[in-house]
Structure 1
Amino acid sequence: MALPDPNTSWPPKPWDEAYKVYAESETWRVGDADAIHEFYRGERPAATHRRDGELYEGGVVGWVSSKFWGRPVPPGQNRTRLHVPAPADVASLASASVFSNPPELRFTDKQSKNTIDRLELIGNSDQAHSTFNTMGELKSVFGASVLVSEWDTEIADHVWLSAYGADVALPEFRKGKLVAVTLWTEYRDGNEYYRHLERHAVGAIEHALYLGTADKIGQRIPLQDRDETAYLATLVNENSVILTGIDRLTASYNMNLPTWAWRKKGALANAGRSDFAQLYPLFDALDEAYSSWMRDLKLGAAKAVVPQAFLETLGRGRGASFDIDRELFVGLNTPGNPDGDKIEQVQFEIRTEEHEATTTELWRMIYRTAGLGTRSVDKDTGRQLTATGELLQDDDKEATRGKKILYDKRAIAEQLAVALELDGKLFAGKGGGQFAPPEVRFPDSAQVDPEKQARTIQYLSAAGAISVWQSVKMFNPDWDDTAVGAEVNRILAEKRAAAAMVPDPATFDGGDPTQDPNNPDNQGGNPDGGQ
């Protein structure tokens, strides 16, 4: 698939179907309450089923009301709708589970110092680690991300890696392998949509600028027509292409997890699955539960019902008010109603325990479905789990992490090799060459529970299955061998000192208590205790 023909549909088929799902995921991730409401209100069919401002039963109304955020608000009502950023938490935690401790990138064969230094700069730097975290969050939300090698000799003296979400990419697959991908950026001026398309193919990157509408790509126009793309006009050749000089693709498609919904739909089968899949109803239900809780707080606020005699008129047609700080009131003597001048308090029950239990269970379902484990939820609520339950949670979380890492390793290693080769061509004398993909090594676990790790070491030590040196190394993985050895020596020295203070049971006979002058039974009497 080359760049789109003029005035064709945007986004092109079959990706228009995927982009609808991307839009839903982005709406939840951004978390703007008004945008979520408008998104689901906009999902309704064209017919409105309205008559004189009233809603029909069933039909569209029933369909919309299946979603908390899609329910219409009747005129004159102001309902509490609270959005809880659970989608943002899922995306952030999903990325942190893989990239909170960044991977180590290294060559498996011997390389020059310059090449190793460029590897550290491009792949092991803080900038690279932040890019990997962004990549992890993007693929969690959209099901995939695109890792790209980029450069600009005027602003940096090295190639760097950038991550893009699947919602701004049009990948092209052949037998499940990426052969090209088009990234796009949109600029809007009123009803005019400018779209910059950047198609990465083997050995070339083509740039194009289109002017169209919301659903049409429109006509291709010169790159100079937008300030944002004008600089590219000096970099491309007569065919609007930048030749990379290498026979590799300067972009890698990094799937989150395999998709199930689109596995029979051609190219969409390779699109990847979002962590939000199957979570939209739970996000909706969680917001409804918290909104109900907030509604109870509002209704539960104490209200005073006062007799009309206590009200101070504001003038004809302007109603009356009640001065809560006033100390003296003159009421009416109403025969047969002695309580007519009393102030009454009205306060509804706030169902705190019920709402807390509901929201906690929804949080647990969201985390469990996303493969994040529920340890943090259980810890916050004080819920106690058996050791088996903890292991099952950890196994589920680690299994999900392990599956995602397989895709991350391939994309990072593949694109890092491309970046290093480009770097050598663009910045002579600082490394370069064509390399096999470097090794990408992830830590055993992104986040280690110190208490759990201590118990594990204790069990292994009791079983005689681990040495003191390995125990120290396991608990302090960042230490080098010198630091580990010093700590082992301190531990062994303390053990020897403690052992020296304990009598040897093989030689200790306990002595004769009757000969001990400090024994009070031996002072001034015989051994039998008589006088």
Structure 2
Amino acid sequence: MPLPDKGTPWPPINPAIWSDLEDWSAWYSANPDRLAYRYLNRHRDGGRFGQPQNRPSQYRGGVVGTIARWFWGEPTPLGEKRASLHMPLARDIARTSSDLLFSEPPTLKAEAKDTQQRLEEVMDLGLKKTLIAGGEVSAALGSVYLRLVWDDQISDRPWISAVHADGAAPEFAYDRLRAVTFWTVLAVDGQKVVRHLERHEEGWILHGVYEGTEDNLGKPIDLGAFAATRNLVPARQLDIGKRLTVSHVPNTVIAPDWRDIPGGACLGTSDYQGAETFLSSIDETYTSWMRDIRLAKSRILVPSGYLTSNGPGLGAAWEDREVMVEMNIPPTSDHQITLNQFAIRHEEHRATIEELVGKVIRNAGYSGNTFGDDSAGSAVTATEIKARTARSMSTRARKAELFEVGIADIVEAQLALEASGLFPGVRGVEVERPEVRFQDSVQDDIKTLAETAELLRRAEAASTETLVALVHPDWDEQDQKAEADRILAQSGRATEDPTAFGADRPDFGDQSGDGAGGQ
């Protein structure tokens, strides 16, 4: 299928989906200016919710105007500074999601020795950091795309890069990705917008540059007009079978709010979905708290007659100008020097923020302890940590399963691409689907494990294989057995201690075969 036609509306995404992506992108940015701009200009249409309506209450002051708008959509009154504060909880959630998944990078396993070596090179030469970034973006925007790219001037081999969900227009066949079109803005000049389009289909990659407007793709122009696209081939067929050079990793199995939109259910949804109002309320509460602090500054109301004149035209003085407020009151009036100090409702604000933060974290599928500071507490085991963060561990396991499929898809495509002969520097790589193994994100201290293994060894309560499995729970069974064999060989024992296999039983020494014992 070719690239889009001239004059195609852009982006080719349902307006409701695009609106949500812009909302989540603004929260993920943690930029107050971007949030204010987004909600001041926010609209959502496309037939699901009707055309946006401008109501007088949106521009009215007081309680009615505040209720009618989002907190970040409230215009700043003329002549005043914006005092709104932003708590970057949304960015913290995305970062924590990625840390839970990729603080310990996954391992890739293959049968062929050369292929296994190549997989280790792929992880060490950039895939680790790509996955860390991809996990963060997926949590924020609902999904991420892992794409194969190559450039002869940079490397003689391809590598995997991450593409954000708000720069991709996917096409699904049932729940499988069939094709996807990525776009990048190359230049903006007034109303003119130049975009680079990159389309991935089974065995094909297409490139094109278009000159249009903000909401229209416009007309195709020459690839050579820009340095970023000058060396690209307009259409390249690849000998990789029915594989895509891109994989889609959704953040969730289904997008609840987009189920009625064609293709929307397969996209995945953000960790922020459904919690945007709570995120807005957190910022509003913090702003109110800081407003209390500003208003609560100590003030001394002093009649102007009590001030010391500095001479004609030089004003008057008071001992402490920082807290003095001059009042035009005659000295003979009943109003004397007055101390004023408003209360700061810190406990009320703190409790409100903690409640709202807890709801946002729970909505994202995490435990509160995951975002807490337990450094002051006593030492705890990995089992206790997992018990306290059970909800986070469940969310991590669910996301890991989705990433396992996406990583295996794109790495298999990379092996097929390298084996196709397009990259002469790659030799001996066999095409196979790798096994993706995620590490345990919470592990006991190695010293504690070693001490436990030593006690079990002394008590003759565990075999060498069991002790190896205890100290290295992240290894597979084959690796654990191989390590146990090496330990036994180095210790000079061909087999385990006979007492571990029943040497203390009465019939252990029977060599006659009649069961009468070894006498």
Task: Name the TM-score, length of structure 2 as normaliser.
Answer: 0.78
Using the aligned pairs only, state the percent identity.
32
Cα displacement (A) at 1:186: 0.8
The answer to whether the 8 Å contact 1:185/1:196 transfers is yes
Give the letter aligned to residue 408 of structure 2. A
Write the distance in 2 (CA, Å) between the matches of 1:105 and 1:405.
Answer: 14
Residues 199/312 of structure 1: CA separation in 2 closer, same or farther (3 Å cut): farther
Residue 21 (str. 1) matches residue 14 (str. 2): no
Q: Aligned residue for 1:447?
A: 442
The answer to whether the 8 Å contact 2:366/2:392 transfers is yes
Cα displacement (A) at 1:249: 0.9
Residues 56/396 of structure 1: CA separation in 2 closer, same or farther (3 Å cut): closer
Give the letter aligned to residue 240 of structure 2. I
Write the distance in 1 (CA, Å) between the matches of 2:88 and 2:13.
Answer: 32
* More divergent stretch after superposition (39-48 vs 215-224): 39-48
Residues 390/433 of structure 1: CA separation in 2 closer, same or farther (3 Å cut): closer
Write the distance in 2 (CA, Å) between the matches of 1:399 and 1:42.
Answer: 37
Deviations 1:186-228 (A, max 9, x none): 1312221001000011111100100000111111111122222
Write the distance in 2 (CA, Å) between the matches of 1:353 and 1:485.
Answer: 59
Which has the greater radius of gyration? 1
Q: Aligned residue for 1:526?
A: none
Residues 393/484 of structure 1: CA separation in 2 closer, same or farther (3 Å cut): farther
Q: Aligned residue for 1:414?
A: 409
Q: Aligned residue for 2:218?
A: 218
Cα displacement (A) at 1:43: 2.3
Residues 13/132 of structure 1: CA separation in 2 closer, same or farther (3 Å cut): closer
Task: Name the TM-score, length of structure 1 as normaliser.
Answer: 0.76
Q: Aligned residue for 1:42?
A: 41
* More divergent stretch after superposition (151-160 vs 391-400): 391-400
Give the letter aligned to residue 405 of structure 2. R
Residues 468/5 of structure 1: CA separation in 2 closer, same or farther (3 Å cut): same
Q: Aligned residue for 1:362?
A: 356
Residue 430 (str. 1) matches residue 426 (str. 2): yes
Residues 80/313 of structure 1: CA separation in 2 closer, same or farther (3 Å cut): farther
Match of 2:271 among 264, 275, 279: 275
Deviations 1:246-304 (A, max 9, x none): 22210011111021111232211111111111121121111112112211221222222
Cα displacement (A) at 1:68: 1.6
Deviations 1:56-92 (A, max 9, x none): 985xx36643x22122334454452100110100000
SS in 2 for 1:69: helix
Residues 27/426 of structure 1: CA separation in 2 closer, same or farther (3 Å cut): same
SS in 2 for 1:363: helix
Write the distance in 1 (CA, Å) between the matches of 2:62 and 2:300.
Answer: 37
Give the letter aligned to residue 88 of structure 1. R
Q: Aligned residue for 1:527?
A: none
Residue 80 (str. 1) matches residue 75 (str. 2): no
Write the distance in 2 (CA, Å) between the matches of 1:74 and 1:475.
Answer: 63
Q: Matches of residues 375-394 of structure 1 in structure 2 within 5 Å?
A: 375-377=369-371, 379=373, 393-394=388-389
Q: Aligned residue for 1:98?
A: 101
The answer to whether the 8 Å contact 1:192/1:211 transfers is yes
The answer to whether the 8 Å contact 2:386/2:393 transfers is no
Write the distance in 2 (CA, Å) between the matches of 1:465 and 1:252.
Answer: 50
Q: Aligned residue for 1:398?
A: 393
Structure 1 alignment gaps of length 5 or more: 327-331, 490-531
Q: Aligned residue for 1:298?
A: 294
Residues 296/484 of structure 1: CA separation in 2 closer, same or farther (3 Å cut): farther
Write the distance in 2 (CA, Å) between the matches of 1:325 and 1:63.
Answer: 40
Q: Aligned residue for 2:207?
A: 207
Cα displacement (A) at 1:130: 0.4
Q: Matches of residues 99-498 of structure 1 in structure 2 within 5 Å?
A: 99-107=102-110, 109-111=111-113, 113=114, 115-122=115-122, 124-125=123-124, 127-187=126-186, 188-232=188-232, 236=233, 240-247=234-241, 248-257=243-252, 258-311=254-307, 322=318, 324=320, 334=331, 337=334, 340=336, 342=337, 344-377=338-371, 379=373, 393-424=388-419, 425-428=421-424, 430-431=426-427, 433=429, 435-443=431-439, 445-448=440-443, 467=462, 470=466, 474=470, 481=483
Residues 272/318 of structure 1: CA separation in 2 closer, same or farther (3 Å cut): farther
Write the distance in 2 (CA, Å) between the matches of 1:411 and 1:485.
Answer: 37
Q: Aligned residue for 2:326?
A: none
Residues 313/416 of structure 1: CA separation in 2 closer, same or farther (3 Å cut): farther
Cα displacement (A) at 1:34: 1.8
The answer to whether the 8 Å contact 2:289/2:349 transfers is yes
The answer to whether the 8 Å contact 1:199/1:207 transfers is yes
Write the distance in 1 (CA, Å) between the matches of 2:2 and 2:208.
Answer: 11
Structure 2 alignment gaps of length 5 or more: 44-51, 323-328, 492-519
SS in 2 for 1:269: coil
Give the letter aligned to residue 308 of structure 1. S
The answer to whether the 8 Å contact 1:93/1:372 transfers is no
Write the distance in 1 (CA, Å) between the matches of 2:414 and 2:201.
Answer: 15
SS in 1 for 2:217: coil
Residue 33 (str. 1) matches residue 32 (str. 2): yes
Write the distance in 1 (CA, Å) between the matches of 2:105 and 2:400.
Answer: 12
Deviations 1:314-345 (A, max 9, x none): 8999976656279xxxxx995575x73x4x33
Q: Aligned residue for 1:529?
A: none
Q: Aligned residue for 2:504?
A: none
Residues 325/287 of structure 1: CA separation in 2 closer, same or farther (3 Å cut): closer
The answer to whether the 8 Å contact 2:304/2:330 transfers is no
Write the distance in 2 (CA, Å) between the matches of 1:465 and 1:82.
Answer: 62
Deviations 1:475-507 (A, max 9, x none): 665898489969xx9xxxxxxxxxxxxxxxxxx
The answer to whether the 8 Å contact 1:64/1:71 transfers is no
Q: Aligned residue for 1:505?
A: none
Write the distance in 2 (CA, Å) between the matches of 1:33 and 1:141.
Answer: 17
Write the distance in 2 (CA, Å) between the matches of 1:398 and 1:222.
Answer: 50
